[in-house]
A and B are shown apart, each in its own frame.
Chain A
C-alpha cells in the first residue's frame, strides 16, 4: 500500500486546523466595522466566533502537546488525490470542452483512485455515464452546457 502513515496527536492537529481558520478569519475581520453592543457592525458576531474558535483551538493544541492522545488515522493519498484531481478536471473542461469530454476525463482520472477498477469496466461505465448524463441533464433538465466541444 502506497500510503503515508503519519503518527501524531489528533488533538494537536485539530487545534492547529482551528487556529489557522480563526487567524485567517481574524485577518479578514480586521477590515470590517466591529461596532459596539448597542450598534453592532458586520464584524461583531464573526469576531466573537473567530475568537472562540481561536481559544478552542489553542486549548486543543495545549492538550495535544501535554497529553498522549489518539494518533491521526492513516492517510491514503491515492484516492484523495485522484478524486480531487478528477473534480478539478471536470470543472475546467465542462464549459470549454463540453459535458461528454468532461465526464470521460473525470471517470478516467477517478479510475486511478481505486486499485480494484478494471479498464474495461471503467470505460464502459464512463461512456454510458456520458451518454445518460447528456440525455438527462442537457436534453431533459436543460442545463445550459454543450454536449460536445
Chain B
C-alpha cells in the first residue's frame, strides 16, 4: 500500500511539471474537441496526432494521447445531450434520455451529471489502475513464452468480440493483420520478408501510414459519401448546477455505472461502448419506474456516462501490465510506445516507473481539467458544431499528409497511406471492420516470436501450450469467449447492442 502512495507521489512530481501539464491539457482539449465533433473518433485523431508526438519525450506523448482518449468520453456526451448526435459510439445511449432532458429544458442538469459522473468514474478507474497494475505486472513477469503466446491469442479473440458484424470476417481480418505484421526483417535471421525488394519496407510497414490510411483518411471518405446534416438549432442550456434532488437521484446510477465500467474495461472483449450499453440496460432493470427511461430519466445519463469513463481508464490495465491492447485505441498506444522505443509489457512498471506513475497522476489531473473544460466552457464547444465539414475535411487531409510524411520524411509513406486508404475503403464496403486487422498487425511480431520460442524450448512439441497451467487457462478463456460469440443467443444480443 505504501508503495502506491510513494508511486503516486512520484507520479505527480512528473505529471505536474509545466510541460507535462500542458501536454495533458492539450490532450484533454483535443479529446473534448473530437468528442464533440461527430465523424471524428479517438482512433482517427490519435493516429492523426501520433506523428506530432514523435518529437516529444515519450512520457509527454503518452500523457497527451491518453488524454485524447478519455477526453473524448466527456465530449461525446455533450452533443448527445444537446443535439441528439452522439459524438462517439460510447455516448449513443446517453442521447436517448439526455436529449429528452434537453428538450424538457433540463440540458444543464444532464450535462452536469454527465460531467460529474464521468469525473467520479474516471478517478475511480485510475485508482484501480494504480492498485491492480503493480501486482498484475509482477504476475505477468512469471510468464514464459507459451503463456505469452496464449495471452496474445486471448487479446486477439477479444478483438473479435469488439468488432461489429460477422465474427468469421473479424477472425479473417486478424489473420490479414498478422500477415501484414510479418512484412520486414525476420527477427532471428535478419532476412527480408515480403518486402518485394523495397528498401522502405525492410523495417516493416510503417505503422502511422497503415493507421492513418485505414482509419483517418478512409473515415473522411466515408463521411464525404453521406450528405451532411447541418445543425441549425440546439437546446438552450439552463443553469449547470444540479439541485440536491437531482444529485440524490443520480448517485446510485453513477456508482453502479462506475463499478460496471471498471470491470468491463479490464476484461478482454469489454471496452467503453459495451460498458455504456450494459449500464443503461442495468439502470432500466433496477429502476422502480422503468417507464421513465426514454423520457428523460437522469439515471439513463448518469449510468452510461460513468460506465464509459471508468472503462476508458481501466482499459489501460491490460496494456500497462501485460502489453496487450484490448481495443483499437489501445493498439494505437502500443504503436506509440514502440515508436518511442518502449517495449510494452510487464516490465513497463519496473523499468519505466516515471511513465507508469506519471501517466496515472496525469489521469487524475486530466479528469479534473476535463470537468472545467466541459462545464463552464460548454458554449465554446457547442459553437464548434457550426464548423462545416466541407472545410473541416480539407484540414484533416492536409494534417494527415504532413503527419505521415514527417515520421520518416519520406514520400513513400504517403503512397503507402494511399494504398491503405483504398484497403480501408474496400473493407468498409465489405462490412469488414479494420479494428481487428490493426490488433493483428500490432501483435503479429510478438505472436510469432513467442510461438517460435515456445516450440524451440519444447523441442517442437505443440502440446506445450496446453501443458502449462497459465497458458491452458488463457486458451480456455479464449475458447470460451469465442464460443460465446458464435452461440446464437448471445450473438443476437450482441447484434442488438450494436444496432441501437
Contact = CB atoms under 8 A, between A and B. Distances in A.
A121 B178 contact: no
Given A25-B179, A121-B390, A13 B430 contact: yes
Interface string B466-486: 000000000000000000000
Interface in A45-71: 45-46, 49-50, 52-53, 56-57, 59-60, 70
A107 B421 contact: no
Contacts of A111: 394
A103 interface: yes
Nearest to B177: A49
Contacts of B393: 110, 113-114
> Majority SS of interface residues in chain B?
helix
B194 A103 contact: no
Contacts of B81: none
Given A106-B397, A117-B390, A143 B220 contact: no
B281 interface: no
Contacts of A86: 397, 401
Interface in B189-213: 189, 191, 193-194, 196
A38 B453 CA distance: 10
A63 to B, nearest CB: 9
Interface string B127-142: 0000000000000000
Contact of B182 (A18, A46, A125): A46
A21 B176 contact: yes
A84 B422 contact: yes
B386 to A, nearest CB: 13
A116 B228 contact: yes
A37 B191 CA distance: 19
B172 A60 contact: yes
Interface residues of B, number: 61
> Majority SS of interface residues in chain A?
helix
A110 B393 CA distance: 9
B2 interface: no
B175 A95 contact: no
Contact of B221 (A83, A94, A103, A117): A83
A38 B456 CA distance: 6
A22 B182 CA distance: 13
A14 B179 contact: no
A135 interface: no
A122 B460 CA distance: 62
A114 B168 contact: no
A92 B452 contact: no
B422 A80 contact: yes
B401 A87 contact: yes
A72 B429 contact: yes
Interface in B212-259: 217, 220-221, 224-225, 228
Contacts of B401: 86-87, 90-91, 94, 102-103, 106
B411 A141 contact: no
B186 A42 contact: yes
Contact of A14 (B172, B188, B228): B172
Contacts of B172: 14, 18, 53, 56-57, 60
A137 interface: yes
Contacts of A113: 221, 224, 393
Interface in B159-182: 168-169, 171-172, 175-176, 178-179, 182
Interface of B: 52, 55, 168-169, 171-172, 175-176, 178-179, 182, 186, 188-189, 191, 193-194, 196, 217, 220-221, 224-225, 228, 388-391, 393-395, 397-399, 401-402, 405-406, 409, 411, 414-415, 417-418, 421-422, 425-426, 428-432, 448, 451-452, 455-456, 459-460, 462
Given A38-B460, A45-B451, A110-B394, 6 more contacts: A18-B176, A46-B182, A84-B421, A90-B405, A91-B415, A114-B224
7 contacts: A21-B176, A44-B452, A83-B397, A87-B401, A94-B401, A107-B394, A107-B398
